[in-house]
Structure 1
């Protein structure tokens, strides 16, 4: 089977349009159309339903697109391995993690990684949806639960808990509650329990919201909660790893906290030898070990497992 025709078919199937595929391939629409018809003739089947608004794959086209997609992923992986040098780390690395961990912990530390590897290109995807690593939606994932997908190399990075924090300025103005019953006059900043988040954080927020506090601020991610706390808006439910970067935060009601949340780093088995992946993994582990060293004697220390 002619690989060039398969390459053009894959581009058309991916774009859903002869014109858009031609733009990607730098070919005219008529040239793309001829190649598709030639492929259909060689296979003796129709690969697309043609509509005024675009092209839709037939059942046979779906089967072929699945095969070409697998081929493209394997070629991308092979190209990545070829580009990885024993002496030099460079190229693109797709990393995914949650919005909170990415914005509050990872991004502020990336300057150090770029200083070490200035030619590294990181595509950072911050979302609560779990991306499919074996399907190469991302190369590396940092998640607040152990990945369930097969063929992944995984490592537990740390364990975190959600706790209640405030600034000294807020507490000086509003007072420091000593019991849960004293939370009523305070303003609570947290994610709504139904917002996508770790279940233990949702449980803690739900318990605190049940205290009938006078005022609340609900934000759909922990970065927004952090900004509210730092602006002295109220008491915020935040992950304890933030105490490393914001040592002035005061923990309120030390007996109140969420259940333990494991944080895992994972990547596909096929990227085991990738130097980009190894460089990123080692950097994250070094940063976590630095937190452990700096906070081993504080209440906000995080539990590390290696």
Structure 2
């Protein structure tokens, strides 16, 4: 059905008059009459009984009016939400990042974002695959490499390294390795080099696994590696950003670490003005700034 004809029908049904309905839409009575007649012809029914005192809806007209009234209310509500969104962040935001960064760094901080924007709806996609932002598989991505697409806005958040960690209890029980050769006397917890992950982490894992280790535990994500380290299972390869939230982690063999891994936040150019994207970006940048301040004050950079 033609939206213009429905709009005219609704205005006429509201006031019961072609003349007054046309006045509200700045249309002549003849133009309104033609549109109503065309709508009735397209539906194959009569929508109004014509009386000297005005128009009365037929049974079919009442059915259509109920539908157009619901449409009008929905449009009014949507318009109000759009106006409100100029000041309030509402609606759905699809965010993607890696399983490790998402579960270990981002998710524990989201309560702060929801406190600030309680009407925000986040759809968080945690996987190693790079989703296609220009094709809107996600609105925002936090990636462990610089995006290659030219039509993305990107911001470098920080650089991370994969390092070796254990707990004080584990080291008190087994001793602290003094050099790389000592790693063979400990259980190494890591991701398999063949598991999807940043290449520098895979290279570090491969190098340490070449030391003829007596025992290993391989987990396909850093969340599992962290839980095993905290459970005193062994020495684990973990991203260094975890030390801010898990002070019980003790760095082992400080000379051993991966190459730097850049972390980027990216989103499509057409979402530059999106208040949801802006709110999420600003939140992440504030949290990164707090982390950097902690690094500087603790001397762990």
Residue in 1 aligned with 2:91?
91
TM-align CA RMSD? 1.7
Residue in 1 aligned with 2:146?
146
Residue in 2 aligned with 1:247?
247
1:208-247 aligned at under 5 Å gives the runs 208-247=208-247
CA distance in 1, matches of 2:136, 2:202: 30
Stretches of structure 1 that go unaligned for 5 or more consecutive residues are 4-78, 302-306
State the 1:213 CA deviation.
Answer: 1.4
Q: Cα deviation per residue 1:15-43 (whole Å; 9 max; x = unaligned)?
A: xxxxxxxxxxxxxxxxxxxxxxxxxxxxx
Residue in 2 aligned with 1:119?
119
Native 8 Å contact 1:144 1:262 kept in 2:
yes
- CA change 1:119–1:163 in 2 (3 A) is same
Q: Cα deviation per residue 1:30-88 (whole Å; 9 max; x = unaligned)?
A: xxxxxxxxxxxxxxxxxxxxxxxxxxxxxxxxxxxxxxxxxxxxxxxxx9x95772210
CA distance in 1, matches of 2:132, 2:139: 9
Stretches of structure 2 that go unaligned for 5 or more consecutive residues are 4-78
CA distance in 2, matches of 1:206, 1:175: 23
CA distance in 1, matches of 2:189, 2:85: 47
Q: SS at the partner of 1:255?
A: strand
Q: Cα deviation per residue 1:171-228 (whole Å; 9 max; x = unaligned)?
A: 0111100100011110000000010000000000001111111100000001110010
CA distance in 2, matches of 1:251, 1:285: 26
State the 1:297 CA deviation.
Answer: 3.8
CA distance in 2, matches of 1:293, 1:299: 10
Q: SS at the partner of 2:94?
A: strand
Q: SS at the partner of 2:282?
A: helix
Larger Rg: 2
TM-score, normalized by length of structure 2?
0.72
Residue in 2 aligned with 1:29?
none
State the 1:259 CA deviation.
Answer: 0.1
Native 8 Å contact 1:83 1:91 kept in 2:
no
Residue in 1 aligned with 2:58?
none
Residue in 2 aligned with 1:202?
202
Residue in 2 aligned with 1:102?
102
Q: SS at the partner of 2:156?
A: strand
Q: Cα deviation per residue 1:140-164 (whole Å; 9 max; x = unaligned)?
A: 0000000011210000000000000
State the 1:300 CA deviation.
Answer: 2.9
Q: SS at the partner of 2:227?
A: helix
Q: Cα deviation per residue 1:284-303 (whole Å; 9 max; x = unaligned)?
A: 000010011112143532xx
CA distance in 2, matches of 1:268, 1:84: 24
Residue in 2 aligned with 1:273?
273
1:17-96 aligned at under 5 Å gives the runs 82=82, 85-96=85-96
CA distance in 1, matches of 2:242, 2:107: 13
